[in-house]
Amino acid sequence: MQRRFLGLTAAVAALGMTVSLAGCGSSSGSGDGVTLKLVAADYDVAGGESSKKYWADLTAAFEAENPGIKVDVQIESWNDVDRKVAEMVKAGKAPDIAQIGAYADYAAADKLYSADQMLSIPVQSNFLPPLTDAGEMKRTQYGLPFVASTRLLFYNKELFEDAGISGAPGTWEELAEDAELLKQNTDVDYPFALPLGPEEAQAETMMWLLSGGGGYTDELGRYAIDSQQNIDTFEWLKENLVEEKLTGPVAPGKLNRKDAFAAFTRGDVGMLNGHPSLLQAAEKAGIDVGKVALPGRSGPADTTMGVADWIMGFKQNGHRTEIGKFLDFLFTDENVLEFAGQNDLLPVTVSAQEEMKKDPEHADLKEFLEVLPGSVLPPVGKTSWASASENIKKNIGDAVGPGGSPARTLDRISQDARAAESAE
């Protein structure tokens, strides 16, 4: 999945920032004279240098403990990092380590070390199970989760009070009723914001499919986008929210996630599906935010969508041992918590998650932490997912638009996904 799935594709500064801790030499297997090249994404959407400082501090500490290994870190904007790594690999100059949005194409091309070739057993076994599963291709883990996120229903408490609503919705029916009360009793623009525009429609879609008991794949991992459960979910959305004019002045198929989030921080949205980074932005803007598990048909949804960004080790330079030492160091609780905490994201390991739960500084992330272990991630282990995701972004809005047909739209998307899957 692209980093935009975590909500941070907004303009980021300092393209091509570099933390260079240079050295030279070839691998001896023991770390003597080895320089690891690491390309990482910039998470600092405010234009600061928090990502640069994190990697500088981390690599300095690592080098102090491993004097035979140097680390050269190149930081790129999320707008560019996946493309830059792809260009490096194509040119035969793959980095040793890349922290980017997707791993599947490189794993399929046999360019990556598997997790068990790099990591110690305690580190490999410490990842949260849904993140481990999502990092696997053909039952072998190649993608290591770097940071994670998940989704909850956000609502504006002040608008709820103004509308006479006493509590958060737990079912779809209650959500529609609350949206109607917001429409009738306040001047809010978007009673419920439904961003099915091309920026991140694949995420919003997945949240609704899961809350309706479906999903992108079946129990065998095959695409099932056109399942009856999924069709029923989108028919409910169309009939009960969109056609009742409860989704605001911009058609869902034209509404992008970043615009919906910005409207929420302005107080123009009653409810939407949000993630931890939006929570911070909304609270800074003075919005009193309520957050609960996503509503389902008859009660809170059994599961929600999880998201992860990935880090991986490339085979090309033969630095397997040194890469493993660095990654074992990276995934210590201290380092995992430092990065997740400074970016309002969730730690990817069991032990770090337990530590964050106990930290009062992160009390506002409690609900996210509770649902992450049971979350479902998109099928990022499929090389066909990239094309399927783009197809969803471009077309899913048609399902709820004027004259749209959920069955027809989902069938078309599903057929294309299955065709791409069969070519894997």
pLDDT digits (tens, 9 = 90+) for 318-351: 999 999 999 999 999 999 999 999 888 999 999 9
Domain co-membership, 164 together with 262: yes
**What number is the average pLDDT over the span 38-67?**
90
pLDDT digits (tens, 9 = 90+) for 292-314: 999 999 999 999 999 999 999 99
Q: Is the pLDDT of residue 168 over 60?
A: yes
Q: Is the pLDDT of residue 20 over 60?
A: no
Domain co-membership, 134 together with 158: no
Residue numbers of the domain that contains 221? 152-304+384-422
Please report, for the domain that includes residue 277, its CATH number: 3.40.190.10
- 106 domain residue, yes or no: yes
Q: Which residues contact 75 (CB under 8 A, 6 or more apart)?
A: 14, 16, 17, 18, 19, 39, 40, 41, 42, 51, 52, 55
Please choose, from the candidates 261, 224, 383, 216, the residue with its C-alpha nearest in 3D space to the C-alpha of residue 4: 261
Predicted confidence band of residue 424 (pLDDT cuts 50, 70, 90): confident
pLDDT of residue 48: 64
Decide which of 337, 355, 374 is a domain's last residue: 374
Domain co-membership, 232 together with 251: yes
pLDDT digits (tens, 9 = 90+) for 244-274: 999 999 999 999 999 999 999 999 999 999 9
CA distance 332 to 343: 17
Residue pointed to by tokens 């008859």: 298
Please choose, from the candidates 287, 278, 259, 223, the residue with its C-alpha nearest in 3D space to the C-alpha of residue 420: 223
Specify the amino acid at residue 219. Answer: E
CA distance 94 to 38: 10
Domain co-membership, 63 together with 74: yes
Query: Counting beta carbons within 10 angstroms of the beta carbon of residue 246, is it exposed (0 to 12), middle (13 to 18) or buried (19 or more)?
Result: buried
CA distance 162 to 422: 53
Q: Where are the alpha helices (DSSP H) in 37-187?
A: 50-65, 81-90, 104-108, 115-118, 121-124, 129-134, 157-162, 172-185
pLDDT of residue 280: 85
CA distance 69 to 27: 9
- 298 domain residue, yes or no: yes
Domain co-membership, 356 together with 401: no
Domain co-membership, 398 together with 259: yes
pLDDT digits (tens, 9 = 90+) for 200-219: 999 999 999 999 999 999 99
Predicted confidence band of residue 147 (pLDDT cuts 50, 70, 90): very high
**What number is the average pLDDT over the span 45-55?**
81
pLDDT of residue 47: 61
DSSP 372: G
Report the chain's mean pLDDT, rounded to a whole number: 91
pLDDT of residue 277: 85
- 204 domain residue, yes or no: yes
Domain co-membership, 218 together with 236: yes
Q: What is the DSSP string of 260-318?
A: HHHHHHTT-EEEEEE-HHHHHHHHHTT--EEEEPPBBSSSB-S--BEEEEEEEEBSTT-
pLDDT digits (tens, 9 = 90+) for 347-356: 999 999 999 9
Q: How many CA atoms lie within 13 A of 101 on its CB side?
A: 24
Domain co-membership, 314 together with 281: no
CA distance 141 to 133: 8
**What number is the average pLDDT over the span 123-140?**
96
- 379 domain residue, yes or no: no
Count the neighbouring beta carbons within 10 Å of the beta carbon of residue 320: 17
Number of domains into which the chain is organized: 2
pTM for the whole structure = 0.86
Domain co-membership, 48 together with 133: yes
CA distance 383 to 198: 20
Domain co-membership, 258 together with 322: no
Q: Is the pLDDT of residue 5 over 60?
A: no
Please choose, from the candidates 152, 154, 168, the residue with its C-alpha nearest in 3D space to the C-alpha of residue 269: 154
